[in-house]
């Protein structure tokens, strides 16, 4: 690949690689944990509501912690904040592993652990992904600075912004591709390990993944990535309110946040019902349930790779919106499937189209926002993801009343209505992106 190829530039960026590996390990741990605790809770309680409650508790910290971390990341060193987050994850995971080894783990021990996991998850967008995007921009900064010594003109500045934008899009697509792959690797590993070694084996792997992440983090260079000046640790509420006003006044940002809410209330929660549907309706054991959940990750991985290789800047909005719409339509169809193989294939397609949402979510934030607002905006994204607790409460109640399959169809149908309204009000939806911050 040529030197100016963003993939080649990112491959030579050691900071990007380390942040990418950390994201890979923590994401495998997250998806492994999500499946394993769901299977354990259903075996223990035989209640779809208590399975969904664990997802609700995992998402609750996103609403509370996400905006706070996003605001702090604009004023404090994000590396220090993320390091503290990883330490909490290592301690929590080790504790649960020991409890299972001693055979004294209960539902409420698991409930506490998923709250900690949710708090760690809340730091990924405003801290790790923020540093990842800034690292991608640095790939071109040195090369462009050399050019500026020969030509201080507007054309050079525009080229730098365009190259940075391409790097960010590819960086987010690569990170989403690897994260989506972990949605396959995590559940598959968790299901097989749970089946053969029990929950203690699964949580042993969970602990090792966070431990490896902490080791990679220890060797991460402490580099100031952003050109934004670090503000004093005061007036945090005012600055968070400024970010909310900024997002509300920008139709692109407003639409991204609203669609994120729709996706997480009425789309993503369908995954929490797969252990219920697999166990009670399809008659599958833990390993086969893990395989079906892994199909969603496989589809998302393939989709993200396609986006990384093919998507152009002008299609960012269209891809984000229509992939979200198709995602809900396929979930509605899934609720009517009662055979394991067709069920798994539809789950694969759901993951494939979800890649458009997951990759463009971060990319659009970077593309249309001011650099000094990005940390806080990612904090708002995390808070919007946290609204999934409403969705999981909703789908848990629907599961209790109508069963898992009907629950996912009902919730998908509910989500299509607000999504259509958002698309109608998003005036720039079909316009190509030409202005890059």
Q: Which domains does the chain have, with CATH numbers?
A: 6-220+232-425 (1.20.1250.20)
Both tokens of 317, joined, read: 């909005």
Q: What is the mean pLDDT of residues 120-146?
A: 70
pLDDT reported for residue 350: 95
Dihedral, 8, 319, 376, 366 alpha carbons, nearest 10: 30
Residue 431, burial from CB neighbour count under 10 angstroms (0-12, 13-18, 19+):
exposed
Query: Given a cut of 60, is residue 317 above it in pLDDT?
Result: yes
Confidence of residue 57 (pLDDT cuts 50, 70, 90): confident
Q: What is the arithmetic mean of pLDDT over 2-6?
A: 46
* Cα 406 to Cα 336: distance, rounded to the nearest angstrom: 7
Report residue 252 as tokens.
Answer: 């692109």
Q: 236-249 vs 48-73: helix axis angle to the nearest 10?
A: 100
Cα 318 to Cα 309: distance, rounded to the nearest angstrom: 17
Give residue 146's pLDDT: 46
Q: What's the whole-number mean pLDDT along residues 173-201?
A: 85
Residue 155 has pLDDT above 70, yes or no: no
pLDDT category at 262 given cuts 50, 70, 90 is very high
Residue 161 — φ and ψ, nearest 5°?
-65, -40
**pLDDT, average across residues 223-230:** 50
As a whole number, the mean pLDDT across the chain is 82
Q: In the predicted model, is pLDDT for residue 68 greater than 90?
A: no
pTM of the predicted model, to two decimals? Answer: 0.74
Pairwise CA distance, residues 295 & 344, whole Å: 6
Question: How many CB atoms lie under 10 A from the CB of residue 421?
Answer: 11
């Amino acid at each position: 690949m040529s030197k100016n190829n963003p993939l080649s530039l990112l491959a030579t960026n050691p900071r990007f690689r380390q942040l990418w590996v950390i994201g890979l390990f923590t994401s495998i741990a997250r998806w492994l944990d999500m499946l394993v605790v769901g299977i354990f809770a259903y075996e223990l309680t035989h209640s779809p509501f208590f399975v969904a409650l664990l997802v609700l508790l995992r998402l609750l910290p996103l609403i509370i912690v996400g905006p706070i971390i996003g605001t702090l990341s604009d004023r404090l060193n994000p590396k220090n904040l993320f390091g503290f987050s990883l330490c909490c994850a290592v301690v929590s995971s080790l504790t649960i592993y020991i409890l299972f080894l001693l055979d004294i783990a209960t539902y409420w021990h698991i409930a506490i652990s998923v709250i900690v996991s949710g708090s760690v998850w809340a730091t990924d967008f405003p801290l790790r992904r923020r540093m990842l995007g800034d690292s991608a921009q640095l790939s071109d900064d040195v090369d462009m600075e050399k050019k500026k010594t020969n030509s201080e003109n507007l054309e050079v500045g525009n080229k730098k912004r365009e190259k940075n934008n391409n790097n960010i899009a590819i960086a987010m697509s690569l990170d989403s591709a690897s994260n989506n792959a972990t949605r396959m690797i995590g559940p598959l590993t968790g299901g097989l390990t749970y089946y053969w070694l029990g929950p203690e084996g699964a949580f042993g792997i969970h602990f090792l993944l966070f431990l490896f992440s902490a080791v990679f983090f220890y060797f991460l260079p402490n580099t100031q990535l952003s050109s934004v000046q670090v503000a004093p640790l005061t007036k945090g509420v005012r600055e968070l309110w400024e970010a909310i006003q900024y997002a509300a006044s920008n139709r692109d940002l407003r639409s991204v946040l609203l669609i994120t809410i729709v996706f997480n209330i009425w789309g993503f929660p369908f995954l929490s019902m797969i252990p219920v549907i697999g166990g009670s309706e399809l008659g599958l054991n833990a390993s086969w349930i893990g395989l079906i959940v892994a199909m969603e990750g496989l589809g998302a991985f393939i989709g993200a790779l396609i986006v990384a290789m093919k998507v152009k800047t002008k299609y960012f909005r269209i891809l984000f919106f229509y992939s979200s719409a198709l995602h809900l339509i396929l979930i509605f169809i899934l609720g009517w499937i009662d055979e394991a193989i067709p069920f798994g294939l539809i789950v694969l397609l759901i993951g494939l189209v979800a890649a458009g949402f997951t990759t463009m979510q971060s990319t659009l934030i970077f593309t249309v926002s001011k650099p000094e607002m990005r940390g806080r905006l990612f904090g708002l994204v995390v808070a919007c993801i946290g609204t999934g607790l409403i969705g999981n409460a909703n789908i848990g109640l629907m599961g209790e009343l109508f069963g898992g399959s009907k629950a996912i169809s009902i919730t998908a149908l509910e989500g299509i209505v607000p999504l259509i309204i958002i698309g109608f009000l998003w005036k720039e939806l079909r316009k190509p992106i030409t202005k890059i911050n």
